[in-house]
A = this chain, B = another copy of it.
């Protein structure tokens, strides 16, 4: 393996000891708070004098704003502040964005999608605020609309941004190309090339296919919400966010104040899936609080989430060169992502989607391009899988299609081409830390791959593959222990349902040899929390876990040093166990030693841990990944060829936890991601008409997978292959099984009835259409084999 990570201190130190806390299905540390309703989410924050914000949203997909008249609203009952383009203070930067600063706090000269914020009101109650909004008069002058990738890229298409907003390129290194606004309605284009393009000439076959990916809503149960209390030049912000420090930076930049003047507080977050990774409700709440002198709560409805962020719809074209025996050689891919009306995280999603286009295969030449296309729809942003979902849907579909075209068994096709354990993904990149073939064999076998099936039933398999752990992500953690041996663990890792809080606490408990119940996580406040760029990229257990591990090891060292000195015994003769010092047969309580040294008020030991994956100086990429997140899926389907309806009879997914800190939550993550992917495969999509009108933006119309929709048999296999870069050999979880499910089901349908659906969701209508096209072609060509490009 070429990964260049620091040694696993704790794992080594404890390698001969039985583990007490690691690898056990312990009760989640947040379980009691959440099941008893005591857990405090941002939606629960209530401050004396707090006002409530509501916003007026654009009814037009694309229009000039001629007039915004809010005078009547200012005088309405209970109203304390109104925010229109005329109320944004001069010193405030009026627009924001991750990379391109294109999204206005409230619309200024034009609106670019239906649902865009035009004005905001803070009032004594939400009802007062809603009533006041009705008094605001807006005059629009409609502009032509681009509501799809194709429309936006059309020659002469109307432009969302006639002049370029300021921005910067995400930070990929040599080997990658990236550029802002390379074409009208394209905010960013990423490119990556390695190997020689002439290799295509050496291939026996070159296949070109196109795939379409639909757009999901994150559908997190806790809505977008923040409470901001502004006083003088300071802001206190309570926010349901995955990225409190990033939020602090962006708010400070927006309001042109020091970052020390903004404190962001976050405890539990009720689901995020990427949606809560940047400014959402906070700028409006902040400006309304500054204007009113009162704390302001701004909580969106679930319907408003559909106007706030979403996944990226995509069109993916793959050109893949292979040898007749199935060996892959070269791939040129292009992915066009529907970024919606504002750029948000799109440039980074494009980089990740483009980088992941080859999937986990041993290509000698790669030429990837990814573009962010602006349309008059809801802005798209970070989403579980982060570009990988789009890339893998296409890649794992096409690999299967090629196998069938060549007459190679799809499992064998993958076996011969998948990158092996320790083998680098591309030159200079980290080596793979899972045996992908071993994992694939597990899920394939579980659904009966290779065994005879009844007619119109089929089995499909797929492997998801993405770099995990974030780009250049540093992590810091702090552990402090009271005189009585109770432990505070301070990190800015967000517990958003994934169970990272429990896993991190288990790491501390293991190293300090104390019961898990003694470890308490400190709610996050950016004033005091150790810095962290955010909870994303499945980085919690691996990247933050390593920082936590180091903090705990450092703390244990300090305690042993102290005990050795005060007891007058050599450090190598003593052990720490449940806040006692073991020396031979004797056990000395640390509380007594501390009081002896420091007196009655006692003392707290404290230590910090820092981790950042080391970059290899020889690597051409500076995004070397910390670990690879692999997800395997195998599906068995039965198709009704008369109607196109199909049932998923069996779905088996698997992830490799490396070493599972808490197997229960690892399984929860694998199964949760698989169900999310299953919903997208069969049902979920945000449906726009040609004029940018969202047709199904509410819980009744937007079709989620419900428990009765689940496959008749749904299984998960937790693998612990043992090669992770995290504490005790752990790898990150939570995104892997999001990646292969759609392709596995499409491949199963192809296996069952020989037709290919290349557009999500896979509906009965689409299967039926494919069957009819196949039959028509069959009549024409008398050729039962699938044709080159079925769409």
Contacts and interface: CB of A to CB of B under 8 A. Distances in A.
B531 A528 contact: no
B528 A604 contact: no
Interface stretch (A475-483, A633-641, A663-671, A730-738): A475-483
A527 interface: yes
B488 A260 contact: yes
Interface in A466-500: 471-472, 474, 476, 480, 482-484, 486-488, 490
A527 B488 contact: yes
A47 to B, nearest CB: 7
A676 interface: no
Contact of A171 (B48, B476, B484, B600): B600
Interface in A485-535: 486-488, 490, 518, 520, 522-523, 525, 527-531, 533-534
Contacts of A483: 249, 259
A69 B612 CA distance: 64
B486 A603 contact: no
Contacts of A369: none
B249 A601 contact: yes
A606 B487 contact: no
B599 A171 contact: yes
A527 B533 contact: no
Q: Work out how many copies of this chain go into the complex.
A: 2
Contact of A258 (B484, B534, B603): B484
A451 interface: no
> What is the predominant secondary structure among interface residues of chain A facing chain B?
loop
Interface string A83-123: 00000000000000011000000000000000000000000
A600 B98 contact: yes
A518 B257 CA distance: 11
Contacts of A525: 525, 528
Contacts of A480: 530-531
Given A38-B232, A47-B48, A606-B476, A486 B533 contact: no
B601 A534 contact: yes
A651 to B, nearest CB: 36
A602 interface: yes
Contact of A488 (B243, B528, B598, B602): B528
A171 B525 CA distance: 37
B98 A231 contact: no
Contacts of A476: 604, 606
Given A258-B518, A482-B258, A603 B528 contact: no
A245 interface: yes
Given A259-B482, A260-B486, A486-B260, A38 B231 contact: yes
Contacts of A565: none
Contact of A531 (B231, B260, B604): B604
A251 to B, nearest CB: 13
Interface in A581-626: 597-604, 606, 608, 612
A483 B474 CA distance: 13
A168 B522 CA distance: 33
21 contacts: A36-B232, A168-B600, A171-B600, A245-B604, A249-B483, A249-B601, A258-B482, A259-B482, A259-B484, A259-B486, A260-B482, A260-B486, A260-B488, A472-B597, A474-B603, A476-B604, A522-B528, A523-B527, A531-B602, A531-B603, A533-B599
